[in-house]
Amino acid sequence: MTAQQTELQYLPPDLKRELLPKHVAVIMDGNGRWAKHQGLPRIMGHKAGVDALKDLLRCCKDWGIEALTAYAFSTENWGRPHEEVDFLMTLFQRVLRQELREMVEENVQIRFVGNLSSLPRSLQAEISRAMEETKDNCGIKFTIATNYGGRQEIIQACRAIAQKVQQGLLQPDEIDEATFERHLYTIGICDPDLLIRTSGEMRVSNFLLWQIAYSEIYITDTLWPDFDRHEFHRALCAYQQRERRFGKV
C-alpha cells in the first residue's frame, strides 16, 4: 500500500457516510498530456492511468462506495494512431490477466459495457473470463466502458425493443423508462450519482448519456494519472455540498 493510500485508508471524518454517492463514474482524461509533461510517449500516460484507476477502485472499496464505472475506450477512440489503439488493447488484456485473481479475492464484480464484439478476440476472451469469474461476487460493481458510445448504446436498445414489438412480445404503449433501462448495457446498475472528469474539459463525450440525466458533475484540472485519494476526497466534499433536487424544488 502506498503512503497516500495508508493515510486515507478509511473514510475521511469530514465526509458523511450517509451522503456518499452509491455510484461514481469517471472520464479518465489527460493521460497523453500527463506523459507529455513528463517528457514521455503518450502510451506511458495510459500505463500510469491504470495505476490511478486501480487506486481509485481500492479507495471506493475502502470508503464503502458501491459502484465505479470508468470510461476506458470510446467508439471514437478508434480514430487514434494505430500504435496507440494497439497499445491500449494489449494493455487492457494484460491488466485484466494480471489483476483478475486479486479482484476475485476482493469480491469485485467486473462488467464490461460497450460494443465488445469488435474488440480483438483475445481481449474478448479475457473479458468473458473476468465477467464469468466475478459474476457472483457481491462487493463493489466495477464497470469498464470499452468501445462504448452513449448514442450507440441507445440505438442498440431501440433496436432490441423494436424487435420485441415486431415479434408481438411488447406493445408500444408498454415502453416506459424502466423498459428502456432493461435494454441498456448497464442493466442492474443504478445511475451514477457523481460523474468526475479530469483534465478540465467541460464535456460529457458520449458517456452514459441516458444514465447521467441527474448525476452531479465534477470537473477537475488534474490530469488522470495524478488523480489520487486526495483528489477523490475533494470531489466527494464538493459532491456532499450539492443539493440534489432531481427537478423538484
Binding residues for substrate: 30-34, 42, 46, 74-76, 78, 80, 197, 203-205
Q: Are 197 and 219 in contact (CB under 8 A)?
A: yes
Q: Which residues of 87-110 are buried (b: 16+ CB within 10 A; e: fewer)?
A: bbbebbbebbeebbeebeebebbb
Q: Which of residues 187-216 bind ligand FPP (CB under 6 A)?
A: 199
Beta bridge partners of 232: none
Q: Which is nearer to ligand FPP, 73 or 157 (CB)?
A: 73
Q: How far is CA 151 from CA 26, 29, 74, 240, in A?
A: 18, 20, 11, 30
C-beta neighbour count of 245 within 10 angstroms:
8
Q: Which residues contact 211 (CB under 8 A, 6 or more apart)?
A: 25, 184, 186, 191, 192
Q: How far is CA 105 from CA 27, 50, 64, 67, 68, in A?
A: 26, 19, 17, 17, 18
Per CB under 6 A, 49 contacts ligand FPP: yes
Per CB under 6 A, 92 contacts ligand FPP: yes
Q: Which is nearer to ligand FPP, 99 or 181 (CB)?
A: 99
State the number of CA atoms in the 13 A half-sphere of 113 facing the CB. 25
Q: Which of residues 26-45 bind ligand FPP (CB under 6 A)?
A: 28-33
Figure out which of the listed residues 20, 24, 44, 53 binds ligand FPP, where binding follows CB under 6 A.
53
Q: Which is nearer to ligand FPP, 60 or 157 (CB)?
A: 60
Least Å distance, CB 248 to ligand FPP, is: 35
Q: Is 10 exposed, middle or buried (0-12, 13-18, 19+ CB in 10 A)?
A: exposed
> Pattern of binders to ligand FPP over 149-168, x per CB under 6 A?
--------------------
Q: Which of residues 95-114 bind ligand FPP (CB under 6 A)?
A: 95
Residues tagged active-site: 29, 77
C-beta neighbour count of 18 within 10 angstroms:
5
Assigned C-alpha cell, 150: 452513449
Per CB under 6 A, 145 contacts ligand FPP: no
Q: Which is nearer to ligand FPP, 65 or 144 (CB)?
A: 144
Per CB under 6 A, 58 contacts ligand FPP: no
Which residues are documented as binding site? 29-34, 42, 46, 74-76, 78, 80, 197, 203-205, 216
Residues at the site binding ligand FPP, with contacts judged by CB under 6 A: 28-33, 46, 49-50, 53, 70, 72, 77, 92, 95, 144, 199
